[in-house]
Amino acid sequence: MKFYIIAFLIIASFGVDIDKNTFSNYREVKMQHLHIEWLLNLRTKIIDGSAEYTFKVTTAELKEVHLDIYQMEIKYAYYPNVGKVLDWHVESDPKQSLVQGDKLIIKLGQSYKYGDIFQLRIKYQIGEAARALSFLSVDQTDDKKAPYLFSQCEANNCRSMIPLQDTPSIKFTYSATVLTQDSQINVFMSGLPVENNKFALMEQYNMNGIAKIFQFELKIKIPAYLIAIVAGTVQEKATGQRTSVISEAKNIDIYQKELEDLDKYVKYLEDYIGEYKWGFYKIVILPASFPFGGMENPLLTFANPSIIVGDKSGVSVAIHEIAHSWFGNTVTCNNWSNMWINEGFCVFLERKGLLQLFGEIDYVYVNSQVGTKEMNALIKEFNTSTDPVVKSYASLHPITEDHNADDSFSTIPYERGYQLLFYLESIISETKFQQLLKDWLRQNEYQSADENDFYNFMITWIQSNFTIEQFLAVKQQIDSVYTKWVYETGALPVKQGFGNHASTQATDLAEEWLSSRPGEQPQGYEIFDQFKSNQKQLFLSYMLEKYINMNTITMKQLDLSYNLSENKDAELLFRWYTLSIQTKYATTNTNLNQIRSFVGKIGRMKMINPIYKALDKNTAQTWYNENKNFYHPLARQSIENIIKSKGQQINVELL
């Protein structure tokens, strides 16, 4: 009977939406716990690593463990208790090695049965080739005192730091020991710090060369992409009873002031969705080369300094990352084709929190309209491609097989996913949909799921909480759009307007500029200075949408009227700079040098990618070559793909 139960469980598992971006045999054996030990040498940009794994067998018989790796040197694998060295080899596909990495195959030397638990260790070394890691020289830091290191594992880049099952389908607890050789270096990880002797060292070291030892653990299960580290002359300052900010000393007081309301933001979201179960919330303001606005590492959110504007207008990024504590970190997509399970839900919760921040739904809807315009532009762009993979990026279920999952990342899973949930709320009712989301979290806590899981849960929930007549009517509405919304690449099945007075002010002003005579300011143009940052973003997004109707004379008048080229808000600058290139306003006599400087001072892909897309190929290559060493490996990859896709035309005025 036991055999038939095991066989049934194994066969049943093949009905799930599997992860096609991992080489691991995660459906046969699952990581339960990971302990890593790192010796950092930031000056030589080398990390000596050891990893100990606790595995549980989920197949009838297991003889090998397959793990994901990327550009690392494996030294040896062994059983820790008996010291037995294990045979291993790397299986490499030349077409995939630099795209998704390689498969590390470890022969266990014996057979394990379903339910067995065992441990093994791997000794390895990594360096600059690890695309999850950014090693910064002393000159690239704010404090100019010591080198700096930070990681970015999402999507499947943790395999370049640690050999493991690099898939969001697998969740595990983890602990870490980090040794430094420089007393100036402090270390933080996505876990709770513990006393530096809780975990015995796995390797032998010359302790005379060890300056500090840091240890961490996280007892809540997470996927590999949420493992994170920052090391440098960083320090921590409290922003509230359970929140804090971490950064280099130079600007930490500015960051602390800008983020002084973090406790309130956590409470806003708790009031809507339920208890924050991670204990503390810490945000690290990283160097400007960090490729994203934020990254939701538990207990250690990463953020780009571009979110610090001076007027708290950038803190919506912090609210978004806090929202990931529920959607993404607690319930996680089971593969990167289902990223909207993380991001669409997170944007939905973020905008519930923004209602508390803004005080008026109109200003929340402005964010929704900005997102809609950027989503629609990408839907149009992706659908012009003849490559079915690229075209699929316009859907909520992109094709990621045989590709780096990072390539599919865009505004689409955020905004298309958000608008699906917004529509579902409109037909289920706001109060009931709130309870549905709470129950979804409760049932799937610390699990991984896909769109089909959510659909089945939602339909069952509605059936249990509505009359039969109501259920049938609501289900019919959902079924008429759900599959189209997720899988089709065209416009949304239902158009959401998000009409509001604040947005109308911004778009009306944009229209007045577009219809004004060249060189003239429209009546009431000064209202722009009274707009909130997101209204200004909408104004510029509207202009970008209609840039072919713009002329350089009107652009010059815009710049003179609002001093846009000198603005300190990066959210406005990148839109204005992109518009400047598209309308040919950008020359050495206007703001071209400022744009060139901008892409060399910020590495946030959201902000530099549109600029590189707007440039001609030769100029883009020239500017990229100037800044390549500054950019994070993920940004380099993204910009190189943009340049590769360009034609050969040259705009000599931009050189």
* Residue 328, helix vs strand vs coil: coil
To the question of whether residue 89 is assigned a binding role by annotation, the answer is no
For residue 614, give Cα distances in angstroms to 159, 495, 577.
33, 28, 9
Question: Taking a C-beta distance cutoff of 8 angstroms, is the pair 425, 433 a contact?
Answer: yes
CA 378 to chain centroid: 18
H helix or E strand, kind and range, residue 359: none
Cβ distance 120 to 79 under 8 Å? yes
Residue 630 annotated as part of some ligand binding site: no
C-alpha radius of gyration, the chain, whole number: 25
- Encode 389-410 in three state secondary structure: HHHHCCCCCCCCCCCCHHHHCC
The residue among 217, 224, 236 whose CA lies nearest residue 297 is 224
512 counts as catalytic = no
Is 292 annotated as belonging to a binding site? yes
- Residue 346, marked binder: no
Of 26, 148, 414, 585, the catalytic one is 414
295 is an annotated ligand-binding site residue: yes
CA distance 382 to 388: 9
How far apart are the C-alpha atoms of 94 and 391, rounded to whole Å? 25
45 appears as a binding residue in the annotation: no
519 annotated as a binding-site residue:
no
**Helices in 338-450 by DSSP H: which ranges?**
340-358, 361-383, 388-392, 412-428, 430-443
Please compute, for residue 68, the number of CA atoms within 13 A of its CA located in the half-sphere on the CB side: 29
Distance CA 502, CA 506 (A): 7
Is 1 annotated among the ligand-binding residues?
no
Which three-class secondary structure state does DSSP give residue 70?
coil
CA distance 27 to 322: 31
CA gap 297, 294 in Å, rounded: 9
Is position 321 annotated as part of the catalytic site?
A: yes
Separation of alpha carbons 515 and 497, rounded Å: 23
CA angle 648, 649, 651 (to 5 degrees): 135
Structure tokens at 211: 């300056």
- Please check if 327 is assigned to a binding site: no
**CA 546 – CA 378 distance, rounded (Å):** 15
Say whether 371 counts as a known binding-site residue.
no
**Among 321, 350, 451, 571, the one annotated catalytic:** 321
189 is in an annotated binding site: no
Residue 635: is the preceding peptide bond cis (ω within 30°)? no
The reply to whether 522 sits in an annotated binding site is: no
- Tell me the HSE value of 27 on the side-chain side, using a 13 A CA sphere: 16
Nearest residue to 322 via CA among 219, 243, 430: 243
Cβ within 8 Å of residue 429, ≥6 positions away? none
324 is in an annotated binding site: yes
Residue 291 structure tokens:
């490729």
Element (H, E) at 227: none
Q: What contacts 70, CB < 8 A, 6 or more positions away?
A: 100, 101, 102, 129, 130, 131, 157, 159, 160
Q: State the Cα–Cα distance between residues 556 and 553, nearest whole angstrom.
A: 5
CB 475 within 8 A of CB 456: no
- Reference 294, options 330, 328, 319; nearest CA is 319
Binding residues: 152-154, 291-296, 320, 324, 343, 604-606
Question: Which residues carry out catalysis?
Answer: 321, 414
Binding residues for Zn(2+): 320, 324, 343
Binding residues for a peptide: 152-154, 291-296, 604-606
